[in-house]
Structure 1
Amino acid sequence: MRRLFIQFYLILMASFVVAVLLIGSLYEGTAERVGNRYLEYLVQDSLDRLCQELAQLPAEQWPAHMASYGQHLGMALHTAALAAQPLDAEDMAFLAAGNIVLMEADDTFVQRIGQSDQVLVVGPVPYLSFLHELRWVDVGLLLALGLSLGLPILLWLRPHWRGLQQLVSAAQRLGAGDLQARVSLPAGSSLAELGETFDRMAQRLQAAIAGRKLLTDAMAHELRTPLGRLRYRLAMLVSPLSESEERAIGRDLATLEHLIDDMLAYGRLTQPGFRLTPADWELVAWARGHLPEWQALGPQCRLSLVVEADPLPWRGDLGLLERAMDNLVANALRHARQQVQIRLQRQGQQLWLSVTDDGPGVPDEAVERIFEPFLRLDESRNRRTGGAGLGLAIVRSIAQAHGGQACVLPSPQGAHFCLQLPVHLDTNGHATLTDGAVAPG
């Protein structure tokens, strides 16, 4: 609120000052000039008479005569050299011609005494001094008026700010997974219409996410029942299947079961409010122990592990990390020609787990979309290698749940997938929405 108040107040004060300056310049150019000219006319007659009298007297009698005349006028009088007056050439010529000149610097009037080289100086004139003092009074009043505007602005802005704060709080809670978050502004609020629009949006979002999860879970669970029945009936066939037919049916059933597991896992990971169960782990020993299982996923390729730092402590959900690495390694083994490399390294407070293969790689135009769910870059390849397009989407969701990211890095040959995770970050404070991944710099 402070920033909004200061910005609004400064804009208002700037507009106020500009208006005052314009009015002041107009006043100074007209009313004040006219007033000064009128004052000159008032003293012109007295100065003319005095200068004529002084011109007829010897110079040594001037002080006494000016003192007497000064008491009558109520102002100080003295003489000065004409050449010493701080005037430009035009004003000096005007003064030398016998005209009266107003010296604004010291609030005095000056007039030449006859044809002498002396001038009569009258003042300072109290009225002119008062005008100068009045200017500072005006400045003080303007400042007081400007400062007094702050209170009504604050009183006017406060209810608007409260409404904005409620909107921000509700948006933050909604973004953090609290689908019950609502603004519920009072009807008299100036932001009531905006609040109602936000609440309707949140309600639709809650219904859409709940409907998507319900549909995914229902489909997954409903698919398990006919799969189980199919396996049972295949086992109860009177005429046994050939070995090749049995293997083909087994692969299809395993693919369906894997798809169901991926759908349930992806739906759970992208559900707002999903929370991890973090613990402290040492990843080098875990990776070495897990290497034989990964190798079993693709025995036709050589799988190697490169560790750049030992040990590698990490805090997170190891079950989800295993699933993410299983998906990355299985994806690399499906597309590799001969070898796959797993690399574990630490850079500052970031842990990088990368998987590279010597396969065809990822097309440049597909790098930004590779982690989207159900994405098929090559239909024929997917039919040959299997997979429904959820594996990499699950990897990205797991990375984001840990406050990290999954990305595709440039590689001279094949594909280079990287899972970047914080080492010591509290993992329960991160959203799991499937935003686009950004490759590390």
Structure 2
Amino acid sequence: MKRIFVESLAILFACFIGALVAYEILVYELAVDYEFILEDDEALAHQQLLQNIADHQGGPSALEAMKQYAQQSHLLLQSHERPPAIVSQFFNENSSQYIYFDEDRILWFRLSGNTAIFSYVPDHSSVVRQKIDLEEDLAWIFMLGSFVIFNLANIWLILRRARKLENTTRRFARGDLSCRADLSSSNRLGSLNQSFNDMADRIAQLIESNRALTNAVAHELRTPIFRVQWQAELLQETKLDESQVATVNSIIEDSEEMEHMVDELLHYTRLENDHGVLSLETIELAALLSDSKKRWQKDKPCTVNLTIQVTPDRLIVVADKRLLMRALDNLVRNAFKYADNEVRLVCYAQAQLVYISVHDDGPGVSRAHQDHIFEPFYVADKARNKSQSGHGLGLSIVRKICDQHSGMIEVGTSEILNGAMFTLVLPASYDKSG
């Protein structure tokens, strides 16, 4: 915005200077300057009047008339026996000419029968002249000041409207599909606001349709998946050879995997449709993690050691317990998939925030995938074994839960175990009685 402001002001100033230059060229260079013609005629009439006085009353009377004229006109009369070369050259080459204006529009004139050349120059010590100069300067100052103030105000109004529209687009980009640009005349930026709203309506409609379709498909898939599982389990009870048993077991495993994927998809869809509706309660983290550890111990591979560190012991967080447990389950089980020997949970509070970090000693997540790993259905194949990568919804669900709690989820490299580190950040609350 600052760059647009400066560029707009620079362009307007350049246009103003260009207009002044164009006026100067058109009026004083290409067209006839009638002011100069009038000055020439007045100067010639003045010289002829002085010549008549000199012819009839003598040179001293003409000189006295010059002095009176100069005094009344706030000019200085100067007599030159040796005028500047350009003036002498003009009168020498034009013997019939008696007046001459130099580049500064200083009048030079002579009288026949007199070798001296006279000139009138402005008397800048005159109070009247000083006032005139001041008024001219003030006129320029007011003109330039008005130009700058007008354009600053105009640019400010445009940028103010553009900034409001920019804030609306940012909110929309962050997922607030209900935000729309203000269409009032005081905030409208041409037809841009209406165009944005039309685009936002269309995008929101497409996203909502996609969500509805995803939810409907996920619900519809549950029944055929259940039928496949049921029929496969019935087949298990019949007499089968080893290859048939292996095939049936594979069918059951695949159907369970599909069922898990559908459950994840439905949960993700519910999080998107809940629009931040939470059942908040005060949760003591140490107790929650201790209870969860018993459940996690059953899911972890035998070779992986799980440890939990909470500092301080009575660390309190206000959150939706069901969603928080779901987020922690996803992070811990994700760590179990890739850990070689150890998974460690580290919880601490800092600057009114609670940090829950899940470390593993697996291969980690490369920087190329860290910016996208929380996107739905994103699978970092190069960083993870494909058989372990899941459906790409678990971490997306974690981010949705964090967003609903005004928190965040970060991924990086663990300094403790040198594998991946996922850090869940939530607003903190302390139990001061402990």
TM-score (norm 2): 0.65
Question: 1:101 and 1:313 mapped to 2: Cα distance?
Answer: 96
* Equivalent position of 2:327 in the other structure: 324
* Equivalent position of 1:195 in the other structure: 194
SS of residue in 2 equivalent to 1:389: coil
* Equivalent position of 1:431 in the other structure: none
Quick one: structure 1 residues 355 and 182, their matched pair in 2 at CA, closer, same or farther if it must change by over 3 Å?
same
Question: 1:67 and 1:315 mapped to 2: Cα distance?
Answer: 100
User: 1:282 Cα deviation (Å)?
Assistant: 4.1
TM-score (norm 1): 0.64
Structure 1 gap segments, 5+ residues each = 426-441
* Equivalent position of 1:298 in the other structure: 300
User: 1:298 Cα deviation (Å)?
Assistant: 0.6
- The answer to whether the 8 Å contact 1:360/1:415 transfers is yes
User: 1:115 Cα deviation (Å)?
Assistant: 5.5
| Larger CA deviation: 340-349 vs 249-258 | 249-258
SS of residue in 1 equivalent to 2:391: coil
* Equivalent position of 1:419 in the other structure: 423
User: 1:359 Cα deviation (Å)?
Assistant: 1.9
CA deviation map 1:323-378 (0-9, x unaligned)? 11111110111221211111223443544322121123334543343333334445
User: 1:316 Cα deviation (Å)?
Assistant: 3.4
Q: Over aligned residues, Cα RMSD in angstroms?
A: 6.0
Question: 1:68 and 1:260 mapped to 2: Cα distance?
Answer: 108
Q: 2:265 aligns with which of 254, 263, 266?
A: 263
* Pair 1:389-2:392 in alignment: yes
Question: 1:424 and 1:262 mapped to 2: Cα distance?
Answer: 28
* Equivalent position of 1:359 in the other structure: 362
| Larger CA deviation: 402-411 vs 12-21 | 12-21
Identity %: 25
SS of residue in 2 equivalent to 1:258: helix
Quick one: structure 1 residues 339 and 109, their matched pair in 2 at CA, closer, same or farther if it must change by over 3 Å?
same
- The AA in structure 2 aligned to 1:19 is A
* Equivalent position of 2:206 in the other structure: 208
Structure 2 gap segments, 5+ residues each = 430-434
Quick one: structure 1 residues 165 and 399, their matched pair in 2 at CA, closer, same or farther if it must change by over 3 Å?
closer
Question: 1:407 and 1:122 mapped to 2: Cα distance?
Answer: 80
Quick one: structure 1 residues 344 and 74, their matched pair in 2 at CA, closer, same or farther if it must change by over 3 Å?
closer
Question: 1:335 and 1:4 mapped to 2: Cα distance?
Answer: 49
Question: 1:190 and 1:355 mapped to 2: Cα distance?
Answer: 48
CA deviation map 1:255-291 (0-9, x unaligned)? 3442222111111223483543444444344334433
| Larger CA deviation: 170-179 vs 416-425 | 170-179
Question: 1:202 and 1:281 mapped to 2: Cα distance?
Answer: 39
User: 1:296 Cα deviation (Å)?
Assistant: 2.7
User: 1:19 Cα deviation (Å)?
Assistant: 1.6
Question: 1:123 and 1:249 mapped to 2: Cα distance?
Answer: 108
The size of the alignment, in residue pairs, is 405
Quick one: structure 1 residues 326 and 53, their matched pair in 2 at CA, closer, same or farther if it must change by over 3 Å?
farther
* Equivalent position of 2:402 in the other structure: 399
* Equivalent position of 1:287 in the other structure: 289
Quick one: structure 1 residues 17 and 65, their matched pair in 2 at CA, closer, same or farther if it must change by over 3 Å?
closer
CA deviation map 1:200-248 (0-9, x unaligned)? x445434433332233323333343345556666479765999x98987
* Pair 1:44-2:47 in alignment: yes
Counterparts in 2 of 1:5-404, with a 5 A limit? 15-16=15-16, 18-24=18-24, 26-28=26-28, 31=33, 32-47=35-50, 66=64, 70=68, 90=85, 114=114, 136=136, 139=139, 143=143, 177-178=176-177, 195=194, 198-199=197-198, 201-228=199-226, 234=233, 254-271=256-273, 273-298=275-300, 300=302, 301-378=304-381, 381-383=385-387, 385=388, 387-404=390-407
- The answer to whether the 8 Å contact 1:108/1:123 transfers is no
- The AA in structure 1 aligned to 2:398 is V
